[in-house]
Amino acid sequence: MCTAMTLRNRQGEIFFGRTMDFSWPLTPSLYVVPQGSVWDNAPRTARIRDRYSFLGIGQELAPAGGEQAGASVFFADGVNEAGLAAAALYFPGYAEFEAAPEESALSIGSLDMVRFLLGSFASVSEARSVLPSVRIVGIRDSITGTISPLHWFLCDRSGETLVVERTSAGLGLYFNPAGVLTNSPDFPWHITNLRNYMNVTPGQAAGASWDNLALTPFGQGAGTDGLPGGYAPPARFVRTAFERSHILPPDGTEETVTAGFHILSGVSIPKGVVLTARGEPDYTQYTAFMNTNTGEYFFRTYENSETVSVNPASGDVAAARNYGRKEAISLGRLVRPVRFWSI
C-alpha cells in the first residue's frame, strides 16, 4: 500500500510526503547518512560512495541468507542536502526486476534504490539521465521473505517529479503532473483513470428540476459526490490528487505541513479496516513530510499523532553528520511515548 504526494506553498517551497501502509510490523528509525558514506550494492558487485548526505526513514534488515553480519538499512523515504526527495512504494503484480547483475552495467538492488537515488543525485534531471543505464535487481527482504515489488517517486526543490517503474515492458520513467503516487496498476493507468472524475468539483452543486419536482443539495460538499471513498490504490490516488490540487495554497512551513497531514489523513488506514489474504491488518504505520528547500523532516506514527520535526541544521543531526563515521547513523526510533496535554 502507501500514498505519496508533493505540495507547493505560497513561498514556492516544495514539500514531499508519504504514508507507510504495511501489514508486516516495522520498527523504523530516522537516520542521517553523512556525505562520503560507502556501501556495497546488494549484488556485491560494486562499492558505492554517497555524494550527498541525507535524512531518511529506514528499517534495519538482515542480509539475504539469514546472516547477521553486515545487516543493512532499507530506506523507505528521505531527502538529501541538495533537495532531492524520494520514496519507495509497493507495486504488486507489476514490478519486474532483473534477475542478476551484469558486469557491463551498474546493478542496484531494489531495496537499495532510495539510498542510491538520495546519495547519488542532486536533482530529478540528474537521476533521469542516469537511471536508463542502471540494472534494478530484485532482492529478497528479511521481513516478508520475498522480493518486495516496488516503484519509486522522486521530486526536487524545483518541483520537478519522476516516477520510476520497472515492469515486464522494461524501465518506465514518467513525469508526474498529478503530484501523487499510490500502488498498482502502473502510473499511466492512474493518470488515465483521473478522466473518470472530471465532473468532481469543490463548488456546490446547483439545484435541478425533474418535471415538477425541484431538487436541492442536502448541504455543502455535494460537488464532491463521486469521489471514491475506499482504500484501494486507485481510490487513494484519485482522492489525494483531487484534494492536493484544490486545497488553498498554504502559507509557510507550519501551514504547509498541517495541510499535507490533513490530505494524507484522508487516505490513512486504521488498523483492522483493511485485511490482507493472510488475515493481517494493512494499516498506516507512519506518515512523513519533508521540506526539500530546508531538508526538514516531519513525521507522525500510528501510535502517536503528535508531529515530530527534525531539522538537519540542529545540533544533534549536524553532530551525527560530522562525527566522522561514514555509515548510516540512527537518530532513534520513530515511535515516541504518547502524551496527553492537561488543561
Q: At what angle do helices 252-265 and 233-246 cross, to 10 degrees?
A: 150
Q: Mean pLDDT, to the nearest integer, of 51-72?
A: 72
- Give the pLDDT confidence score for residue 313 in this predicted structure: 85
Q: How many distinct structural domains can be found in the chain? A: 1
Q: Per-residue confidence at 334, pLDDT binned at 50, 70, 90? A: very high
- The stretch 37-66 carries a mean pLDDT of 84
Q: How many whole angstroms separate alpha carbon 316 and alpha carbon 298?
A: 16
Residue 170: other Cβ atoms inside 10 A: 9
pLDDT at 90: 97
C-beta atoms surrounding 208 within 10 Å: 10
Minimal CA–CA distance to 302: which of 59, 78, 28?
Answer: 28
In a domain? residue 97: yes
Average pLDDT over residues 14-37: 95
Summarize pLDDT for 125-142 with one digit per residue, the tens: 999 999 999 999 998 888
Q: Flag the least confident range among 64-68, 224-228, 268-272, 281-285.
A: 64-68
CA nearest neighbour of 227 among 246, 208, 249, 209: 246
Question: Is position 237 within any domain?
Answer: no
H-helix or E-strand spanning residue 3: strand 3-8
Residue 71 has what pLDDT? 47
Shortest CA distance to 52 belongs to which of 246, 321, 279, 244? 321
Average pLDDT over residues 250-277: 97
Q: How confident is the model at residue 338 (pLDDT cuts 50, 70, 90)?
A: confident
Average pLDDT over residues 223-232: 93
Position 66 confidence tier, pLDDT thresholds 50, 70, 90? very low
The answer on pLDDT for 123 being more than 50 is yes
Q: What is the pLDDT of residue 69?
A: 31
Question: What's the CATH number where 30 sits?
Answer: 3.60.60.10
Contacts of 218 (CB under 8 A, 6+ apart): none
| Choice among 2, 124, 139, 269 that is catalytic | 2
Specify the pLDDT at position 63: 61
Q: Which domain holds residue 121?
A: 3-199+251-333
Residue 207 CB coordination number (10 Å): 9
C-alpha neighbours within 13 Å on the C-beta side of residue 219: 0
Say yes or no to pLDDT of 282 above 70.
yes
Higher pLDDT, 68 or 227: 227
Please name the residue that has the C-alpha cell 529506514.
Answer: 58
Residue 140 CB neighbour total at 10 angstroms: 17
Kindly tell me if the per-residue pLDDT of 67 is higher than 60.
no
Q: What is the mean pLDDT of the chain?
A: 92
Residue 143 counted as domain residue:
yes
- Does any domain span residue 227? no
Q: What is the pLDDT of residues 78-121, one digit of tens each?
A: 999 999 999 999 999 999 999 877 777 899 999 999 999 999 99
Domain contains 238: no
* CA gyration radius, the chain: 21
**Mean pLDDT, residues 31-42 taken together:** 90
Whether 139 is covered by a domain: the verdict is yes
Residue 241 is assigned to a structural domain of this protein: no
pLDDT grade for 315, boundaries at 50, 70 and 90: confident
Q: What was the pLDDT predicted at 15?
A: 98
Neighbours of 129 (CB within 10 A): 12
In this structure, what C-alpha cell is assigned to residue 209?
Answer: 428540476
**Residue 158 in 3-state DSSP?**
coil
Active site residue 2: yes
Residue 70 pLDDT grade (very low, low, confident, very high; cuts 50, 70, 90): very low
Prediction pTM value:
0.93
240 found inside a domain: no
CA distance 276 to 49: 38
